[in-house]
Amino acid sequence: MARVAVVTGGTRGIGEAISRMLKDDGFTVVANYAGNEAKARDFTARTGIAAYRWDVGDHEATLAGCAQIAAEVGPIDVVVNNAGITRDGVLHKMSFEDWNEVMRINLGGCFNMAKATFPGMRERGWGRIVNIGSINGQAGQYGQVNYAAAKSGIHGFTKALAQEGAKYGVTVNAIAPGYIDTDMVAAVPAPVLEKIVAKIPVGRLGQAEEIARGVSFLCSDSAGFVTGSTMSINGGQHMY
Ligand code: CAA
């Protein structure tokens, strides 16, 4: 039977590319989404991939969502923690809510998903967790203390959980994307984005499929010796 993979924020942007590629790899993929019902319906119609709605920052909702998937689709073998938001602003203008929402969803979402699925992977002796971090969690970014802290936290979370999963066949890795051609990056003011792109040695934004390819590798059987690692896919913008 095909292994079951859940991709959070899996109906749009990088998440959509990951969902599609894991399906091509032979997984039974379920995409989670938080709010955009119309996009999710369109995604399912185009791809045939089921979409389940809940907020990954909500602990109880995440436990319930994963339990529903386990009952309706099968035990969850692969989790890609991709769901994330930005609430950019310099610290002196940033509200506590903007800080808290980014921490709750981007970092809290990884904890909630792991709580819901890691024990089962551990018991069954096989699992893959891939957390989507960011270049801005590695290098920091002006106007992103919340996002950089959450993404940096994801990299620490990855290395800690990898140690707990290793002897049970559960690998935990992170990918740190650079600036990828998605709605999230399109929201950066054009003059700011132009300056950022000018500093990318490869000379362009990345494509969502270029991140998905890395996830696909980390979820494969042949990546069983790779754990606790961070794969940077950023066009050479930050060599770390
Ligand atoms: N370093 C130093 N100074 C900077 C700077 C930088 N990187 N960027 C801006 N400044 C300076 C500006 O020059 C300006 O200075 P002056 O007032 O002296 O001219 C000052 O900071 C204010 O700049 P803004 O006008 O941009 O300030 P703002 O309050 O209107 O906006 C901001 C601030 C919202 C943070 C805006 O700069 C912004 O959106 N920056 C982009 C942040 C970013 O890269 N986000 C990534 C989103 S995509 C993502 O996160 C995905 C991923 O994982 C990569």
Q: Where are the alpha helices (DSSP H) in the chain?
A: 13-24, 37-47, 59-72, 96-102, 108-124, 135-139, 145-165, 183-186, 190-198, 208-219
Any catalytic annotation for residue 147?
A: yes
Q: Is the dihedral of CA 200, 201, 203, 206 positive or negative?
A: negative
- The confidence score (pLDDT) of residue 189 equals 95
State the pTM of this model. Answer: 0.96
Mean pLDDT, range 143-151, rounded to an integer: 98
Q: In angstroms, rounded to a whole number, what is the distance separating the alpha carbons of residues 41 and 23? A: 17
Which of 81, 85, 88, 184 best tests ligand 1's pocket when mutated (most atoms within 8 Å of CB)? 88
Band of pLDDT at residue 49, cut at 50, 70 and 90: very high
Mean pLDDT, range 24-36, rounded to an integer: 96
Domains of the chain with bracketed CATH: 4-233 (3.40.50.720)
Q: What is the pLDDT of residues 61-100, one digit of tens each?
A: 999 999 999 999 999 999 999 999 999 999 999 999 999 9
Q: In this model, does residue 169 exceed pLDDT 90? A: yes
- The confidence score (pLDDT) of residue 24 equals 98
Q: What is the pLDDT of residues 199-233, one digit of tens each?
A: 999 999 999 999 999 999 999 999 999 999 999 99
**Pocket around ligand 1: residues whose beta carbon is below 6 Å from it?**
86, 88-90, 134-136, 141-144, 147, 177, 179, 184-185, 188-189, 192
DSSP 8-state class, residue 168: G
Query: If you measure from the C-alpha of residue 190 to the centroid of ligand 1, how many angstroms do you get, rounded to a whole number?
Result: 11
Task: Determine what percent of the chain is predicted with pLDDT higher than 90.
Answer: 99
- The confidence score (pLDDT) of residue 240 equals 73
